[in-house]
Amino acid sequence: MPASVLSSWLKAIRPHHWAKNALVFVPAVAAHALADASVLAASALAFLAFSLAASGSYLVNDILDRDSDRSHPTRRTRAIASGALPIPAARVGATILIASGLAIGYFGPGLPFLGVLGAYLLLTLWYSLQLKQRPVTDILCLAALYTGRILAGSAATGIEPSFWLLAFSMLLFFSLATAKRATELAGLAARSEQQAPGRGYTVNDLPLLVVFGVASAYASVLLLALYLNARGDVLYARPQLLWLLCPALLYWVSRIWLKTYRQELHEDPVVFALTDRPSLAVLLICTVLVWLAI
């Protein structure tokens, strides 16, 4: 395969976004069950299945969005929008990737996981066809897709997610999804444009989106503090250490929104965090704190 063709495929299936699918490990980590070989294997298969299916859904999304992407200053370089990847080939690739993910889900983690993965794919398709054009609904959908990865990890391992975990996830991911939209609108304002192609927002909505995002970000920190106060001493030997998670998370979400306000954020906050040294440092600190608290 020529290097240019391989590069086009890699751009289209976005393997760097697979890091998001590490959320399937969260239920096992939260339950302190990651050392269980069967739980780890189920989570790993769930990660692989989700990654393949998600890459297939990216191809479907890019096929449906090719016209609006061509009018976008950065998305027009996407493989399908630019014509580097032919649409028929992309359709075949999407079919293979999604079918492979579903097959791994069926023969690996099993039917409960397959049901969650199927719901994720249907919601992704609905989002691509309609929901992304509906203000606020699109942000809720993106937050649900992130939280769906955690539900997939629960279905794969049989570990029931707690109310605390799901509520925290929805609040945090609602904030990150809002930052994604706010970044897009800030870019429009900088180019003296008003309407986001294929979206239901105008630049006049930007101040309100900032309020939505910051409020939900700080609400997630508050919920974490309430959880530690209610359940920290039940699950952890040294829960006092976990209180340091609150200022760490408060710093990180504040930094995300500061970057958003300054138009310095990548359009996808999660991708930004994976290449941002302070964000990686916060992740390392939080990981060490949780490990020491167990």
Domain of 44, CATH number, reads 1.10.357
User: Span 20-29, mean pLDDT?
Assistant: 92
Residues 42 and 117 in one domain: yes
Residues 20 and 77 in one domain: yes
| pLDDT attached to residue 267 | 67
Task: For 3-25, give the DSSP string.
Answer: HHHHHHHHHHH-GGGGGGGGGGG
Residues 56 and 167 in one domain: no
Residues 106 and 180 in one domain: no
Q: Residues 149, 281, 213, 176: is their CA dihedral positive or negative?
A: negative
Decide if 80 is inside a domain. yes
Across 4-18, 145-159, 184-198, 271-285, which has the greatest mean pLDDT? 145-159
* DSSP type of residue 90: H
| pTM metric for this prediction | 0.89
What tokens does 266 get? 């990548």
Q: What contacts 220, CB < 8 A, 6 or more positions away?
A: 168, 171, 172, 175, 249, 253
| pLDDT attached to residue 158 | 92
Residues 39 and 166 in one domain: no
Contact 200, 228 (CB under 8 A): no
Calpha distance 6→11 (Å, rounded): 9
Residues 293 and 167 in one domain: yes
In this model, does residue 75 exceed pLDDT 80? no
Residues 241 and 291 in one domain: yes
Residues 189 and 248 in one domain: yes
Decide if 43 is inside a domain. yes
Q: State the residue range of the domain holding 291.
A: 162-294
Decide if 138 is inside a domain. no
In this model, does residue 1 exceed pLDDT 60? no
Q: Residues 213, 219, 225, 227: is their CA dihedral positive or negative?
A: negative
Calpha distance 56→102 (Å, rounded): 11
Gyration radius (Cα) of the chain, Å: 19
Last residue of a domain, one of 158, 174, 197: 158
Residues 174 and 218 in one domain: yes
Distance, first Cα to last Cα, the chain: 48
Calpha distance 177→132 (Å, rounded): 12
Q: Residue 26: pLDDT band by 50, 70, 90 thresholds?
A: very high
Decide if 139 is inside a domain. no
Higher pLDDT, 16 or 142: 142
CA proximity to 120, closest of 65, 173, 49: 49
Q: Residue 84: pLDDT band by 50, 70, 90 thresholds?
A: confident
| Coil/strand/helix, residue 278 | helix
Decide if 246 is inside a domain. yes
What tokens does 190 get? 């900088």
Last residue of a domain, one of 158, 174, 208: 158
Calpha distance 190→66 (Å, rounded): 23
Residues 116 and 194 in one domain: no
Higher pLDDT, 32 or 254: 254
Calpha distance 234→256 (Å, rounded): 32
What tokens does 149 get? 């990865």
CA proximity to 46, closest of 68, 25, 18, 20: 25
Decide if 144 is inside a domain. no
Higher pLDDT, 99 or 32: 99
Residues 193 and 288 in one domain: yes
Residues 103 and 183 in one domain: no
Q: C-alpha dihedral over 229, 235, 236, 237, to 10 degrees?
A: 110
Other beta carbons within 10 angstroms of residue 171's beta carbon come to: 21
| pLDDT attached to residue 250 | 96
User: Span 122-145, mean pLDDT?
Assistant: 92
Domain count, the chain: 2
Decide if 95 is inside a domain. yes
Q: Residues 75, 81, 84, 86: is their CA dihedral positive or negative?
A: positive
Give the whole-number percent of the chain exceeding pLDDT 90.
54
List for the chain the helix, strand, coil content (%; round to 5): 80, 0, 20
What are the tens digits of pLDDT across the range 171-197? Answer: 999 999 999 899 888 887 777 777 766
Last residue of a domain, one of 158, 176, 197: 158
Decide if 197 is inside a domain. yes
CA proximity to 116, closest of 181, 166, 164: 166
